[in-house]
Structure 1
């Protein structure tokens, strides 16, 4: 058995890109840790064989099981490098007591665990934490509050803010992510599953559930039983509900944070929050480090980078090893197959470039010095030859009947009083679909957007053929001047890369909810300037390609459809169509701001 373990460890190290190392260790299973309310959490304790002296502890707290694949990936590789590791199942999971109500108890449980560790004879008082995704969140839940402070942390592919960055992105529920994860955690301890590995049949159940109305009980279809997280997610989405405040830690005193190392990906759903955290940490004086690669959430390349950076980071802070080399910020420039090093994020030396969305579908640069970027002068939009997407059918629920296609197109093309207005109608009975993007699970990343762009509820603005490579590196945002026929609406903006063959691939996007209960009132003419924060990026638009911007009223099923009413999204079954007017030019210019390196 020992021989098998050594061989398996060697294979794991090779897969993770780690130097092979075989420090012998022993594992003490099912160590009980008491919480303040009397609940007991279970953990496995990895310790180098033959070491009787107190050692620092690397704490990993996760809800996916302290053994199996996650132990082989996140605990054993560190143990083979001589670290003492304590991997704990969070409340209500894999033998730990209590109920698993994600994001609601990690601060109290984490601080109690750290206090208990420091009292053990085998701990020298120094505690570090490691891990990504949910067990990156368990680090944010305690790192700003631990006293004495933790030695170091590495909260990868996660965010200090869960509410506005993940659950309800700028007010819009991310139902695809929430239901996919609910199906995963709701089934992960059922017998017959292979160590928590994804079940391809669940994707079908999730997709079917997202198409139903109302949404409040579709967790039963996706997971086979009610899932507390999904019920909390749909029950606490209304403005002013502070239920999730315990999951957000971006308002904590960041000067109390220990040194931070973080890894994320350009297609990771946590990216925007991860980078906002990094910027805030550096502003607070934290010596944080950042790596951003071309990865979707949990891709093998992302996990390899997590393992490699953790090995160096922990060796430096716990054992006095050499500090990580290179600049503090290292990002992958997509489509260029190269890495860029920066001292800060956002990087210095970029020029914010405004791209005006022109009436008629053009995309125009508004640089003060246009000769520096004449490749972005106005050009008529490129036509598409592909067909339309079929309308999505609904299996349950009541929606207003769909208007005839000819009537929709007539209204779209009819001129208004103001010639600088583009129009479309969003209909929740026929929600605007989305493809690609930052999702919890594949498929995601880039996808062909042409069929979506053919729809009459998507406006498309296309720039000229680039006469040279254009590197966009940093935050991307949009200001859309819009008038809507009803006060409840969403504004979705997406930047795409159109190749010489006309294939349009998404690069970054963002969404913003308009809700009269939270948004500023429009002007007397009904027009409002809507700021949309798109995901950051580092992306090369190659010579011969074009930039394209989409504007729509939704992106389903990644985000919940806007039903056009104040009814909570989980219980809504009746919807109202919304007519959009997008304005161009003068005081009502609609534009995209891109950082050109």
Structure 2
């Protein structure tokens, strides 16, 4: 079709919006995909914003974004499309399997819709964010910008597993919701009710906590067993993941990534930015790239100091700039929200973990006697922590259980005898941490397999202990633990004088991750009765220097 020049809309003008239209397209293999079309009721052509969802197009992800009418009134054609096997679209939903080809087909089709200027951008969070990456891997010519939020980069390490441990609460909750939708599509009322009820209250007290009865009975509706029984990276995961498809990123597509400190997929978001930013430094005709990390979780905003812009205001300004040429670039390539002060920091890149705090102890870290310090201790120490599977250490705040994400006081958890804590002296001056964190831990256990949960918190003068970041590792028989390196995600926080840092170590973090039975058995094969107590031995000192690496 012949495209007219796009209309230039002033920021204070709002356009009338046509009533939504339901439109359909066919994929290259003949599957019908349905969409709702919103467009200005005015003469001219407009850039297209394409949102491809797996949760039903009528909701239009209004849990996180303004309704599509809001964007249409500001000079965009908005297309909200049900992914294959979702909503009213044909086909069977298999997570990520068809998004590369279907997404590219949808971009080409959206570029030809009434009112389109022929230029397309994509937006959306979670699954809809990954759908953007996968469509980009097919290099559709009309795609000019993407804005994936809370999406990650690798399905294996961002969606299914973390540090070798299955992401139990996150993966189970999503699988139950997706299975309930599959049951609804075939009018299985009983299955839909059972699965929906289980999604609202995760059945983690089942005989097999990682594979509850609801998912066993209705496995035909879900991908869950495929993920649970494939605990190692490899070709099956690579076939679903942008990480394996976008090593050579198109340089002419603008990229705005939105991440959250309490989003389970933040580490992948940062990995993607590092790769893309490095590529753009050497690419000619490169489009802009930006990373914004704010006080958000996978389910939306979390309680935090200061005010945070909405996802809509952030990406509208981005789309206006890269698609319409409106507005100036006033922020750095990386913008981070400070968890403690609420201020925003603009940086040229995400700093690496270069400062070091050493663990030290008199053997009573599980009685809050461990210490963090700049100096290497001059003596060897051993802390003993006993994990009892009957009373696992609970997940408190952080990122790993999306429905309960955020900054929750964990002082009571740190007082448990199965948690070892290492606390720094109170700070005399403000100190800002901004970037990635890692832990090198010399640890061993009396079981073939064990878990280590690590949480870094700020201890405020009033006694509150608020998590800043965390990491988790599942150690399988034969894995190296001399030392065990645990990636602890990234952080941005300015610590006030009188505050201290605390590292908390435990043998479980449930229900974020399955309780390790200590036997080496897979989670889907482990009954509650099979789990055994595990004794962890945590070393520190000159010969076995456990240490925390920080971006100071």
TM interval, short-chain normalised: 0.7 to 0.9
Residue 437 of structure 1 and its aligned partner are, at CA, apart by: 0.8
2:429 to 464, 468, 472: 468
Q: Which residue of 2 aligns with 1:276?
A: 271
Residues 29 and 442 of structure 1: CA distance in aligned 2, closer, same or farther (over 3 Å): same
Say whether 1:161 aligns with 2:164.
Answer: no
- Contact 1:313–1:323, Cα closer than 8 Å, also in 2: no
Residue 255 of structure 1 and its aligned partner are, at CA, apart by: 3.3
Counterpart-to-counterpart distance in 2, 1:102 and 1:566:
28
Q: Which residue of 2 aligns with 1:246?
A: 239
- Alignment deviations for residues 323-369 of structure 1 (CA, whole Å, 9 cap, x no partner): 4322222212222232211122238xx8623333434333242369x
1:48 to 40, 43, 57: 40
Residues 568 and 271 of structure 1: CA distance in aligned 2, closer, same or farther (over 3 Å): same
Q: Which residue of 1 aligns with 2:520?
A: 566
Say whether 1:436 aligns with 2:397.
Answer: yes
Residue 592 of structure 1 and its aligned partner are, at CA, apart by: 0.8
Say whether 1:261 aligns with 2:264.
Answer: no
Q: 1:451 aligns to what SS in structure 2?
A: helix
Q: Which residue of 1 aligns with 2:206?
A: 212
TM-score, normalised on structure 1? Answer: 0.78
- Alignment deviations for residues 66-104 of structure 1 (CA, whole Å, 9 cap, x no partner): 224536825222111111122111111110011222222
- Alignment deviations for residues 564-587 of structure 1 (CA, whole Å, 9 cap, x no partner): 233321121122332211111113
Q: Which residue of 2 aligns with 1:57?
A: 48
- Contact 1:183–1:219, Cα closer than 8 Å, also in 2: no
Matches within 5 A, 1:305-320: 305-320=310-325
The answer to which of 133-142 and 110-119 deviates more is 110-119
Q: Which residue of 2 aligns with 1:35?
A: 27
Residue 120 of structure 1 and its aligned partner are, at CA, apart by: 5.3
Cα RMSD for the two superposed structures: 3.2
Which runs of 5 or more structure 1 residues have no equivalent in the other structure?
Answer: 1-17, 192-198, 369-376, 379-417, 521-526
- Contact 1:359–1:584, Cα closer than 8 Å, also in 2: no
Residues 142 and 320 of structure 1: CA distance in aligned 2, closer, same or farther (over 3 Å): same
Residues 488 and 149 of structure 1: CA distance in aligned 2, closer, same or farther (over 3 Å): farther
Say whether 1:550 aligns with 2:504.
Answer: yes
2:69 to 60, 64, 76: 76
Matches within 5 A, 1:504-543: 504-516=465-477, 519-520=479-480, 528-543=482-497
Q: Which residue of 1 aligns with 2:106?
A: 113
Q: Which residue of 2 aligns with 1:585?
A: 541
- Alignment deviations for residues 371-395 of structure 1 (CA, whole Å, 9 cap, x no partner): xxxxxx99xxxxxxxxxxxxxxxxx
Q: 1:60 aligns to what SS in structure 2?
A: strand
Residue 176 of structure 1 and its aligned partner are, at CA, apart by: 0.9
Q: Which residue of 2 aligns with 1:497?
A: 458
- Contact 2:107–2:140, Cα closer than 8 Å, also in 1: no
Residue 119 of structure 1 and its aligned partner are, at CA, apart by: 5.3
- Contact 2:477–2:520, Cα closer than 8 Å, also in 1: no
Q: Which residue of 2 aligns with 1:333?
A: 338
Q: 1:243 aligns to what SS in structure 2?
A: helix
Matches within 5 A, 1:365-380: 365-366=373-374
The answer to which of 64-73 and 475-484 deviates more is 64-73
Residues 33 and 441 of structure 1: CA distance in aligned 2, closer, same or farther (over 3 Å): same
TM-score, normalised on structure 2? Answer: 0.84
Which runs of 5 or more structure 2 residues have no equivalent in the other structure?
Answer: 1-9, 186-192, 281-285, 364-368
Residue 260 of structure 1 and its aligned partner are, at CA, apart by: 0.5
- Contact 1:157–1:271, Cα closer than 8 Å, also in 2: yes
Residue 50 of structure 1 and its aligned partner are, at CA, apart by: 4.0
Say whether 1:233 aligns with 2:227.
Answer: yes
- Contact 1:183–1:223, Cα closer than 8 Å, also in 2: no
Matched pairs, number = 513
Counterpart-to-counterpart distance in 1, 2:59 and 2:218:
23
Residues 343 and 62 of structure 1: CA distance in aligned 2, closer, same or farther (over 3 Å): same
Residues 357 and 280 of structure 1: CA distance in aligned 2, closer, same or farther (over 3 Å): farther
Say whether 1:354 aligns with 2:308.
Answer: no
- Contact 1:331–1:340, Cα closer than 8 Å, also in 2: yes
The answer to which of 209-218 and 331-340 deviates more is 209-218
Counterpart-to-counterpart distance in 2, 1:297 and 1:208:
17
Counterpart-to-counterpart distance in 2, 1:99 and 1:338:
45
